[in-house]
Amino acid sequence: MQRRHYGTLAAVAALSMAFTLTGCGAGSGSGNDVTLKLVAADYGSGEANTSQKYWDDLAAAFEKKNPGISVEVDVRSWKDVDRDVAEMVANDQAPDMAQIGAYADFAAEDRLYRTDELLPIPTQANFLPLLNQAGEVDRVQYGMPFAASTRLLFFNRKLFADAGLQPPKTWEDIRAAAAKLKADGVTYPFALPLGTEESQAETMMWMLSGGGGYRDAVNSEYDIDSAANVETFTWLRDKLVKPGLTGPTAPGHLDRQAAFEAFTKGEVGMLNGHPTLMEAAEKAGVDFGMVPLPSPDGAATSSMGVADWMMAFKQNGHREEIGRFLQFVYRDENVLAFSDAYDILPVTVTASTEMESDAKHSKLKPFLEELPTSELYPVGKTSWAKVSKSVKANIGKAVTENGDPEAVLSGIAKEAAEAEAAEAATSAK
């Protein structure tokens, strides 16, 4: 990771222990007999490594230091958690905090505390600059980054060696390798998860690889049905899906977790993955390599970065208690404990620097190096939650045998424009 982001902030972050929440203006209650409710996403793959254990241990440690404040954490699947929180908010049953994938629509509805109402300046300044900026709506930060990752192309070294293959550098290399792996009987030569779990990520990776993206490079407006994006999904349809190189499950019905599990069973030749896949593959005894997702001609392109967000709702009025808890959450030892448990990249300067210098995290360095210059989802747009939902529901149709990538992408773009227009109308009132 490039240290130029960190040197000037390390000393500032070290001051955080000297600040209290009174110093940053928080103070809505006495801190006695309050129960905070947090709804959080599960980063585990099952009961054995569910995030519930992490949060239960963290809450117990916090409660020991803060008598009178209890924390109840409800951990839910990534498939459900964003929708569940939205339903809670719509029913006037917002939790005190939510750790999910998007925050901007709640911020636009004036439901969230600003970050500076909750955390002292040194804690705010310790977030990685890219993530701090991504947590803003109209230059005010509401989303606090909780976990980050970037993506690389994973490949099974044994399957590649058996087939006499080298790591791919171009899209044609991917196609040719997948064809050879299929001939060798590999179940998923290239796993392409465009199902409802996290297809917005797979979509963005391929868009960036093809020179496109969700937004244009000039004014950051949506450009979902750009010529580059249409060309990318036409290539996926014609070169990977139609020839049967993506396995027995249609991409639109293949979820990320199922693809990851197949990789750990040795059934996948290649797939895009994040750091969590490393530990699962290692435990399963899979020898794997990692390279940036190739581009059509092998030239370097932007990588995708992902941040998941912590937010605090104003409905229950527990600002001081929420602030105390979140300051505890963002202590280095707690940030690193979560990162260690799930091979997730830390979101703070000091924790990232510590991870980078620790030899036991050497395999995470390729991901860490990608993060400062990666491109994130347009999470600062209040329309993003609706756009992401549309991508999850529709993108798989673009690569079916009779799919029409241009029509599918245009349909998603239309929903994005409608969401943007609704946002503008709301702002004008």
DSSP 265-310: TT-EEEEEE-THHHHHHHHTT--EEEEPPPBSSS---PPBEEEEEE
Q: Is 1's pLDDT higher than 80?
A: no
Could you report the per-residue pLDDT of 318-362, keeping only the tens digit for each? 999 999 999 999 999 999 999 988 888 999 999 999 998 988 888
Higher pLDDT, 377 or 17: 377
- Residues 122-172: tens digit of each pLDDT: 999 999 998 999 999 989 999 999 999 999 999 999 999 999 999 999 999
One CATH from 3.40.30.10, 1.10.10.10, 3.40.50.150, 3.40.190.10 for 152-302+383-428: 3.40.190.10
pTM of the model: 0.78
% residues pLDDT > 90 (the chain): 73
Average pLDDT over residues 398-412: 97
Is residue 26 scored above 60 in pLDDT? no
Question: What is the pLDDT confidence band of residue 242, given thresholds at 50, 70 and 90?
Answer: very high
H/E run at residue 312: strand 305-312
pLDDT tier at 422, thresholds 50, 70, 90: confident
For 340, half-sphere exposure in the C-beta direction (CA atoms, 13 angstrom radius) is 13
pLDDT at 186: 98
Q: Strand, coil or helix: what is 83?
A: helix
Q: What pLDDT sits at residue 13? A: 38
Q: Is the pLDDT of residue 426 over 70?
A: no
Q: Tell me what the pLDDT averaged over the chain comes to.
A: 90
Residue 120: per-residue pLDDT: 97
User: Confidence band (pLDDT; 50, 70, 90) for 384?
Assistant: confident
**Dist. CA 196–CA 118, nearest whole Å:** 34
- pLDDT for position 32: 60
Q: List pLDDT tens digits, range 206-229.
A: 999 999 999 997 768 999 999 999
Percent of the chain that is helix, strand, coil (3-state, to 5): 50, 15, 35
Average pLDDT (33-50) is 91
Phi and psi, residue 302, nearest 5°: -65, 140
- Asked whether residue 14 carries a pLDDT value surpassing 80, the answer given is no
The one-character DSSP state at 400 is S
Beta carbons of 327 and 123 less than 8 angstroms apart: yes
The CATH fold of domain 3-148+306-373: D-Maltodextrin-Binding Protein; domain 2 (3.40.190)
Structure tokens at 91: 């029913």
Q: What digits encode the pLDDT tens for the residues 99-112?
A: 998 899 899 899 99
| 3-148+306-373 against 152-302+383-428: fold identical | yes
Beta strands (DSSP E) in 77-173 are 97-100, 136-137, 140-141, 144-150, 152-156
For 97, 125, 275, 288, 359, the CA distances from 363, given in Å and listed in that order, are 32, 27, 9, 11, 9
Q: Where are the domains of the chain?
A: 3-148+306-373, 152-302+383-428
Higher pLDDT pick, 345 / 373:
345
